[in-house]
Amino acid sequence: MRQRLEAFAVDVFTPMVRSDQRAKGETYLRGLLLDGRRKSMQPMADRLGVDHQGLQQFVTTSTWDTTAVRMRLARRAVDVVEPVAWVVDDTGFPKDGKSSPGVARQYSGTLGKVANCQIGVSVHAVTDVASCPLDWRLFLPTSWDDQAVDEADRPEVLARRARCAIPTDEHHRPKWSMVVEMLDELAEHGLRPPLLAADAGYGDNSQFRSALDERSIDYIMQVKGDALAHQPDVQPVARVWSGRGRPPTRTDPRYPKTAVSLVEHVRAAGRAATQTITWREGSKGTMSSQFIFLRVRPAGHRVARDPDGLLPERWLIAQWPDDQAEPVKYWLSSLPAATSHTDLIRYGKIRWRIEHDYRELKTGLGLDHFEGRSFIGWYRHVTLVTAAHLFITELRLDPKAAAPA
């Protein structure tokens, strides 16, 4: 296994121009993969029998290109996993103090509450049997953005940013915008998702869905039931000025009927329209439930329209189990109208793999054990943890990995 790890490290750390950096990268990987409760630098150095200051220098002040290594890992991960979809999500890193970059009292879906934490946004390549992160971003709340705070608070924010060495061009952006940045960066390296899946934290944002449409990226995302949509056969009509008062400032066609919520669309279809779909074998047996499949045109002033003013037609999927009085989940998807219902549910449910990744990255590989205070240090740690995760993913997928040499 040691020889295999060495060969892996030689490949993925090729962008590191210096041999001592590549050696430190392999050492850090071994530290992450060894048994041990904590994967911060001091405990890892103790287990490895090396000077922890060397590891600290490698992560916090060395000059290797983090992005180049992540992109090399991403290409290898896509080749290994052969994903049917990419999944986007974010996860919380609980912190006790206020000095770590991006730390603030903010909501974390991982923790299920508002807590003092950092938030990492990630993109993962997934199938039903394997997955691996492709890219990361550290979310900066507005309290860490010198351009977003009051003038009186600006000196303190600038001082905090300087202590963490946050680049001057790094500012607060919505999480969905950070995902678009990652997709564009990966596309520059020849990597595009076959399909993008996400929860309602991203799916409810029409700007995000429109950004994917602009990039011709198909998606399936959970949304809340109160989102609005038109029936697919409703057509926009030209705006007519009565001749009284000021002429209308907008000349694009408008929809004559008021859009209704996704809940109402599903209720109108009724429980009789449900179909039982089985999507995979789980640890406790076959996973199946009842679903309704409709075609709708999601509404909203931020939803991109075609030149004729027509809103895009999308799949609306609702999970309505027999033992529930109301639907429990909703999805919108831009997949083609001919997509099978079984495939729609399989893709809609595939984001469960992200929870597996986060659990393993944290409990097994120390994703949230980094104790450094530098911005680049966080990115280097998550890049090296991603490398460790890819290595064990390759071992799982290789039937010869467990065979004796």
> Greatest CA separation found in the chain?
87
Any residues with CB less than 8 A from the CB of 285 and at least 6 apart, and which?
none
Residue 242, pLDDT score: 67
The number of residues making up the chain comes to: 405
Answer whether residue 405 shows pLDDT above 50.
no
pLDDT over 70 percentage in the chain: 96
Does residue 9 have a pLDDT over 70? yes
Confidence tier at 281 by pLDDT (50, 70, 90): confident
Q: Where are the domains of the chain?
A: 2-199+354-397, 200-240+253-350
Banded model confidence at residue 404, pLDDT cuts 50, 70, 90: very low
Distance of alpha carbon 115 from alpha carbon 111, whole angstroms: 8
Tell me what pLDDT residue 250 has: 66
User: What is the rounded distance in angstroms from the CA atom of residue 191 to the CA atom of residue 167?
Assistant: 26
Residue in this structure with the two tokens 């071992």, named with its chain if needed: 395
Please report the pLDDT score of residue 251 as a whole number.
64
Rounded to whole angstroms, the Cα distance separating 141 from 85 reads 29
What secondary structure letter does DSSP report for 132? E
Q: How many helices (H) and strands (E) would you count in the chain? A: 13, 12
Question: What is the spatial distance between Cα 390 and Cα 73, in angstroms, rounded to a whole number?
Answer: 8
Predicted pLDDT of residue 187 = 98
- Mean pLDDT to the nearest integer, 305-326: 90
Tell me the whole-structure pTM to 2 decimals: 0.92
Looking at 2-40, list the stretches that DSSP marks H as alpha helix, in order from N- to C-terminal side.
Answer: 2-12, 19-33
Mean pLDDT of the chain: 92
Instruction: Name the least confident of 154-168, 339-353, 391-405.
Output: 391-405
Q: Which residues are CB-neighbours of 26 under 8 A, at least 6 positions away?
A: 5, 6, 9, 13
Q: Which pLDDT value is given to residue 403? A: 47
pLDDT of residue 306: 76
Residue type, 136: W
Tens-digit pLDDT profile for residues 167-226 = 999 999 999 999 999 999 999 999 999 999 999 999 999 999 999 999 999 999 999 999
Distance CA 269, CA 256 (A): 22
Structure tokens at 346: 């399989």
The 10s digit of each residue's pLDDT in 28-82 is 999 999 998 899 989 999 999 999 899 999 999 899 999 999 999 999 999 999 9
